[in-house]
């Protein structure tokens, strides 16, 4: 645990340095001394902000996910049809992680193995936060008649689960190198998932008939 509250700029400086070192050397070779040197600060300043090397690595992942969540919420609140936004969110939750992992591809497995118990706990929190972002959009889409009458929270959790197979910890280093293929698969999965959420043709016709006055044939 942190012994004191560290200034945000110090935390960012340490995390920036750690991200560069993870890409350059990998988790196992990276030391707190290395992080301090890369950040241009004393070793004690690293410990002011983080309890250990493991804490630094996990916080790098947390920061990446926080940024990704901001992107997902921005897409959800942005323009365009509800289900188009949902597609973009599904693809982005995959590709945001893939792009981050690709810069750490040679060290990702070692890092996740070293911090696995703590990472699994944090991962559940990450997934729950993402599911809430999806649920908010699904609820809005349902009210607008753009989605089936479904319970938004379990549906959102299912969307997260369904796309987890494409996340970096489920892929090999070789697979991570094929970004275009991963994106193609992510788009295909997103399309199938959204198709299952879209209202049926009958429902769309029924809604349209209620909203559009019928014209008499002379």
- Per-residue pLDDT, averaged over 27-34, amounts to 94
Strand extents, DSSP E, 21-127: none
State residue 206's pLDDT score: 43
> 173 in helix, strand or coil?
helix
Asked whether residue 19 falls in the same domain as residue 35, the answer is: yes
Residues 98, 4: Cα–Cα separation, whole Å: 33
The residue segments making up the domain with residue 24 are: 1-51
In-domain check, residue 144: yes
Asked whether residue 109 falls in the same domain as residue 42, the answer is: no
**CATH classification at residue 118:** 1.10.357.10
**CATH classification at residue 15:** 1.10.10.60
Asked whether residue 176 falls in the same domain as residue 81, the answer is: yes
- Per-residue pLDDT, averaged over 192-213, amounts to 64
Query: For the chain, what's the residue count?
Result: 218
In-domain check, residue 180: yes
Rg of the chain taking only CA atoms, in angstroms:
22
Query: Residue 211: which pLDDT band, with cuts at 50, 70 and 90?
Result: very low
Query: Residue 164: which pLDDT band, with cuts at 50, 70 and 90?
Result: very high
Query: Residue 216: which pLDDT band, with cuts at 50, 70 and 90?
Result: very low
Asked whether residue 93 falls in the same domain as residue 186, the answer is: yes
Counting Cα atoms < 13 Å in the Cβ hemisphere of 105 gives 13
Asked whether residue 10 falls in the same domain as residue 104, the answer is: no
Query: Residue 70: which pLDDT band, with cuts at 50, 70 and 90?
Result: very high
State residue 5's pLDDT score: 60
- Per-residue pLDDT, averaged over 6-32, amounts to 92
Residues 70, 88: Cα–Cα separation, whole Å: 14
Asked whether residue 46 falls in the same domain as residue 105, the answer is: no
Query: Residue 213: which pLDDT band, with cuts at 50, 70 and 90?
Result: very low
Asked whether residue 98 falls in the same domain as residue 69, the answer is: yes
In-domain check, residue 130: yes
Q: Which two structure tokens, joined as six digits, stand for 30?
A: 């990276």
Does residue 212 surpass a pLDDT of 80?
no
Helix (H) or strand (E) holding 143: helix 116-143
Asked whether residue 40 falls in the same domain as residue 65, the answer is: no
CB neighbours of residue 98 within 10 Å: 21
Mean pLDDT of the chain: 88
In-domain check, residue 192: yes
CB neighbours of residue 181 within 10 Å: 10
Q: Which two structure tokens, joined as six digits, stand for 216?
A: 């008499």
pLDDT tens-digit readout, 75-124: 999 999 999 999 999 999 999 999 999 888 777 777 878 888 898 999 99
Q: Which residues contact 29 (CB under 8 A, 6 or more apart)?
A: none
Asked whether residue 29 falls in the same domain as residue 76, the answer is: no
Asked whether residue 14 falls in the same domain as residue 68, the answer is: no
Query: Residue 204: which pLDDT band, with cuts at 50, 70 and 90?
Result: very low
Taking the alpha carbons at both ends of the chain, their separation in whole angstroms is 80
Residues 173, 198: Cα–Cα separation, whole Å: 35
The count of domains in the chain is 2
């Amino acid at each position: 645990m942190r012994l004191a509250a560290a200034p945000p700029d110090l935390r960012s400086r340490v995390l920036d340095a750690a991200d560069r070192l993870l890409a350059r050397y990998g988790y196992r070779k990276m030391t707190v001394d290395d992080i301090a040197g890369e950040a241009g600060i004393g070793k004690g300043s690293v410990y002011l902000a983080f309890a250990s090397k493991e804490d630094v690595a996990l916080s790098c992942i947390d920061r990446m996910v926080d940024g990704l969540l901001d992107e997902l919420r921005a897409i959800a609140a942005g323009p365009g049809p509800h289900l188009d936004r949902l597609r973009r969110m599904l693809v982005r939750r995959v590709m945001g992680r893939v792009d981050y992992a690709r810069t750490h591809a040679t060290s990702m497995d070692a890092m996740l193995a070293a911090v696995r118990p703590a990472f699994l706990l944090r991962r559940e929190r990450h997934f729950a936060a993402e599911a809430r972002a999806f649920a908010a959009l699904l609820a809005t889409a349902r009210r607008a008649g753009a989605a089936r009458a479904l319970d938004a929270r379990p549906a959102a959790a299912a969307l997260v689960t369904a796309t987890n197979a494409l996340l970096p910890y489920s892929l090999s280093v070789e697979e991570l190198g094929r970004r275009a293929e991963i994106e193609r698969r992510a788009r295909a999965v997103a399309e199938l998932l959204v198709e299952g959420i879209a209202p049926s043709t009958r429902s769309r016709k029924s809604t349209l008939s209620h909203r559009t006055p019928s014209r008499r044939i002379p």
